[in-house]
Amino acid sequence: MCGIVGYIGSREAYPIIIEGLKRLEYRGYDSAGIALFDGKDLKIAKTKGKVSDLEACVEKETSKTGNVGMGHTRWATHGVPNDVNSHPHASNSGDLAIIHNGIIENYDALKKELTSRGYTFKSDTDTEVLINLIEDVKKKENVKLGKAVQIALNQVIGAYAIAVYDKNKPEEVVIARLGSPLAVGIGEDEFFIASDASPFIEYTKNAIYLEDEEMAIIRLGKAIKIRKIKDDSLVDPYIQELQINLEQIEKGGYDHFMLKEIHEQPRAIRDTYRGRLLRDEAIIKMAGVEDNMKKFLNADRIIIVACGTSWHAGLVAEYIFEEFARIPVEVEYASEFRYRNPIITEKDVLIAISQSGETADTLAAIKLAKSKGAFVFGVCNVVGSSIARETHAGAYTHAGPEIGVASTKAFTTQITVLTLIALRLARAKGTMSSSDFRLHLHELELIPQKVEQLLQVDQHVKEIAKEYLLSTNCLYLGRGYNFPVALEGALKLKEISYIHAEGYPAAEMKHGPIALIDDRMPVIVIAPSKGHYEKVVSNIQEIKSRKGKIIAVVTEGDTAVRDIADHVIEIPDSEEAFSPLLTTIPLQLLSYHIAVMRNCNVDQPRNLAKSVTVE
C-alpha cells in the first residue's frame, strides 16, 4: 500500500511524478504529497485527499520546477489521513526528506529514544521517526546519506520501500526495500523510482526490481550501485526489459478500469491458456509444472494460500483439483495460516495465489512453508513481483495490469491457470481418461467466446441494478463450484458499493441466514443447470416463500427458475467445473452498476488499496 514515485534527471520532475502518482493511486489514495528540488531548496507540498487535490495544493502553495523530486500517495497505517501525516516527511533540520511505503513496527521505541535526545515530531507517523533516525545516525556517526540509511535500517523492525533525499546532495537519491516493492527505471542520464513500473513505461523499458534487504544509491551520471542492507555486500544489478505498454494501463474508452477489466476477460482468459493448452496435440504444457512434476505427483496434499478474491479462486481450485486430479487440497487464508503453527511437511505442495504478487500475508505464508521444506508454487499476475520471485516455480496468469481495486479478470485468469494445472496433473496421474481430457481442453477453449457472448447481458444487468441500488443487505448463494462464486459476488458488491453482502453455500441458508430474508432482501442465487440444480431450485423456493427478492443466474433455456425468480440472468451452458468462469461475470457487472448508480468510486473504493503490502 502507498505508491512511491521519484525522478532524478534533466526533465521537469513534476509532471512525471504527478502522472506516476495517478497511475499508482490504486495502491492507496487517502493523501498525497510531493517534494521538488528547485535548484536551491527542497519544496514540499502535501495534502489529505487524492492526487488531484495535491495538484491544486501545489498550484496554490509552491512551485512546480525542479529536475529532482519524489511523490507519494498514501494508504494510512500510522496516523489518520490528514495534511500533516502525508508524505514526504522532512527531518528536524529540514535537510532530509523521505517517502515510505510500509510499517516501522518499533517506531514507538525509536521515537521515545529520539525525543529524549531533543527531536520533535509534527506527525503521528512511523515515517517521520525513520527520517529523524537517519538524520541522527548521519550526524552522530558523521557518515554520508547512504551509510546513514543503512545503519538506521539495521535498527528498524518492519517493512519498507523508501526513497530518501538530502537537499545538500541534489544529484543523489537513496532507496531501500524490505517487504514492499520498489522498481528503478534506467533511462539515459536519468532514473525513475516507483512502486511498480507503470509511472515510467513511456520513458524507459529497462528496469531493476530491488530485492528484499537491498538498497541502492542512485547518482546522476553514475551506474546504479546495489548493496545488501545487512552486510554491505555488493549485488550485481539485473536489468529487466519491461513487457507492459501504456495502452494496457489506460482506460481505453471505458468509464472505469473495473468495467474495462471485466470486458477484457475473454482476451485475458485466452492469453492465460495461450501456448499452454495445445488442443490438437491434446497436451497441456506448463514449464513450472513439468519441471516439478515429481513434486506434484508425490505430494500428500496441496495447500493453497491466498487472501480475498485470490482465496476465492483457491476455493474453486479445491473443487477442481480434487475432482480432476484426486489430490487432497486445503485452502487457507494466508493471514491465518502463517500464525497458526500449521503442520507442513516436505511432502506438501503449497500453491500461493496473488494478483499483485506483493500481499504481505501470502508472502509470509510462502516463507513459512519454504522453511519447513515444502515445495512452493506461485500463481501471480504481476511479472517479477515479490511472490513470483520468492516461490520455487510458478505460472503467471497473463491477465495484463489490473488497476481497478476490485479484482475481476485476476479471478477468472487465476481459475484458468489452476484448471490447467489440475488437468495436467489429472493426465499425469491417470485420474482422467484421455477422451475426457480432450473434451475438457475443448470446453476450456470455448470459454472466452462464451464470456464474450455473456457480456452482452450488461444492459439487462444494469436494469436489474436500478431496482436494488438502495438495498442495505444482500445474500449470495451457490453450491459446489459456485459456492466460492457466491463469496466472490458478495465481496465485489460490498467492497465497491458499501452494501452489506454475504455469500453462503446455498444449503447453509437454513442454518441461520434464512432468518434475514424478507421482502427487502435481494438474494442472488447461482443456479446453473449442471451441479445440484434441483437442490438449488428448492432453496429458491424457500426464499420465495419468505418473500425474498430473487435474482437468479441460470443456464440459457432454463424455465423452472424463471417461473419463481424475480429476475433471471442467463449464462451459456458449459462443463460444470468451468461454470465459475461464466457465473462470476454477471455478478461483477451487477456490483459495478449498483456502485456506479450509488455514486461510489468504483476504481478506488474507500479504505481499500490494490496491493496489501502490510499485514
* Contact call for residue 101 and ligand F6R (CB under 6 A): no
Residues in the chain: 615
- What is the rounded CA–CA span in Å between residue 416 and residue 411? 9
Given 88, 179, 308, 394, the residue binding ligand F6R (CB under 6 A): 308
Of 67, 309, 555, 579, the residue at the interface with ligand F6R (CB under 6 A) is 309
Q: Which region, judged by CB under 6 A, interacts with ligand F6R, from 190-198, 253-261, 348-356, 392-400? A: 348-356
Which one-letter amino acid corresponds to residue 102? G
Write down the least CB distance from residue 274 to ligand F6R, Å: 22
Using CB under 6 A, which residues numbered 505 to 564 contact ligand F6R? none
End-to-end distance of the chain based on CA atoms, in angstroms? 10
Q: Please count the other Cβ atoms lying within 10 Å of the Cβ belonging to residue 60.
A: 9
CB of 511 to ligand F6R, least distance (A): 26
Nearer to ligand F6R, 37 or 377 (CB): 377
CB closer to ligand F6R out of 77 and 359: 359
| 76 closest CA partner among 177, 5, 2 | 2
Closer residue to ligand F6R in complex, CB, 380/461: 380
Stretch binding ligand F6R (CB under 6 A), from 227-235, 293-301, 307-315, 479-487 = 307-315
Site string for ligand F6R, 351-380 (x = CB under 6 A): ---xxx--x--x------------------
The least distance separating ligand F6R from the CB of residue 489, rounded to whole angstroms, comes to 11
Report if residue 386 touches ligand F6R, rule: CB under 6 A.
no
DSSP 409-443: HHHHHHHHHHHHHHHHHHHHHT-S-HHHHHHHHHH
Which DSSP letter does residue 444 get? H
Candidate ranges 44-52, 114-122, 262-270, 303-311; the one touching ligand F6R (CB under 6 A): 303-311
Which single residue is written with the C-alpha cell 543523489? 172
**Contacting ligand F6R (CB under 6 A), which of 131, 374, 415, 612?**
612
Distances (CA, A) of 576 to 320, 581, 602: 10, 10, 31
**Neighbour-count burial for 217-228, b at 16+ CB within 10 Å, e otherwise:** bbbbeeebebbe
d(CA 46, CA 229): 30
Q: Which is nearer to ligand F6R, 408 or 555 (CB)?
A: 408
Considering only the stretches 239-247, 276-284, 305-313, 430-438, report the one whose residues sit in contact with ligand F6R under the rule CB under 6 A.
Answer: 305-313
Any idea what the Cα angle at residue 453 is, between residues 452 and 459, rounded to 5°? 100
Q: Residue 416 interacts with ligand F6R (CB under 6 A)?
A: no
Q: Which residues pair with 186 in a beta bridge?
A: 191
The helix/strand count (H/E) of the chain reads as: 20, 27
What backbone phi and psi angles, to 5 degrees, belong to 456? -70, -5
Of 406 and 418, which CB lies nearer to ligand F6R in the complex structure? 406
Interatomic CA distance for residues 184 and 55, integer angstroms = 24
Find the helix or strand (DSSP H, E) in which 468 lies: helix 458-468
Least CB distance to ligand F6R at residue 461 (A):
18
Does residue number 307 form part of the binding site for ligand F6R (CB under 6 A)? yes
Instruction: State the residue for C-alpha cell 492465460.
Output: 272
Q: Confirm or reject binding of residue 495 to ligand F6R (CB under 6 A).
A: yes
Interface pick for ligand F6R out of 407, 412, 555, 613 (rule CB under 6 A)? 407
Q: State the DSSP H helix or E strand holding residue 396, giving kind and residue range, or none if neither.
A: strand 393-396
413 touches ligand F6R by CB under 6 A: no
Residue appearing with cell numbers 536519468: 190
Minimum gap (Å) between residue 364 Cβ and ligand F6R: 12
CA angle 381, 387, 390 (to 5 degrees): 140
Q: Which is nearer to ligand F6R, 390 or 495 (CB)?
A: 495
* Rounded least distance, CB 308 to ligand F6R, Å: 2
Q: How far is the CB of 596 from ligand F6R (least distance, A)?
A: 16
In the set 2, 57, 380, 600, the catalytic residue is 2
DSSP string, 271-322: HHHTTTEETTTTEE--HHHHTTHHHHHH-SEEEEEE-HHHHHHHHHHHHHHH
Active site residue 2: yes
Residue whose C-beta lies closest to ligand F6R: 308
- Stretch 452-491: interaction string toward ligand F6R, x if CB under 6 A: ---------------------------------------x
Nearer to ligand F6R, 166 or 361 (CB): 361
Please give the residues from 31 up to 90 whose contact with ligand F6R meets the rule CB under 6 A.
Answer: none
Nearer to ligand F6R, 495 or 558 (CB): 495
User: Annotated catalytic residue: which of 22, 43, 111, 610?
Assistant: 610
Of 76-84, 146-154, 269-277, 301-309, the window that binds ligand F6R (rule: CB under 6 A) is 301-309
Q: Is residue 406 part of the contact set for ligand F6R (CB under 6 A)?
A: yes
* Nearest CA-CA partner of 232 in 221, 247, 217: 217
By CB under 6 A, name the one of 195, 310, 412, 482 that touches ligand F6R: 310
CB 27 within 8 A of CB 1: yes
Alpha carbons 214 and 11: distance in angstroms, whole number:
27
State the pairing for strand pair 522-527/473-478.
parallel
Q: What is the CA radius of gyration of the chain?
A: 25
Which lies closer to ligand F6R via its Cβ, residue 491 or residue 527? 491
Which amino acid, residue 224?
I
CB of 411 to ligand F6R, least distance (A): 8
Residues in contact with ligand F6R, total (CB under 6 A)? 14
Contacts for 276 with CB less than 8 Å, ≥ 6 apart: 284, 285, 286, 395, 420
Cβ-contact 382, 310 below 8 angstroms:
no
The residue among 85 and 310 lying less far from ligand F6R, judged by its C-beta, is 310
Residues that are catalytic: 2, 610
Binding interface with ligand F6R (CB under 6 A): 307-310, 354-356, 359, 362, 406-407, 491, 495, 612
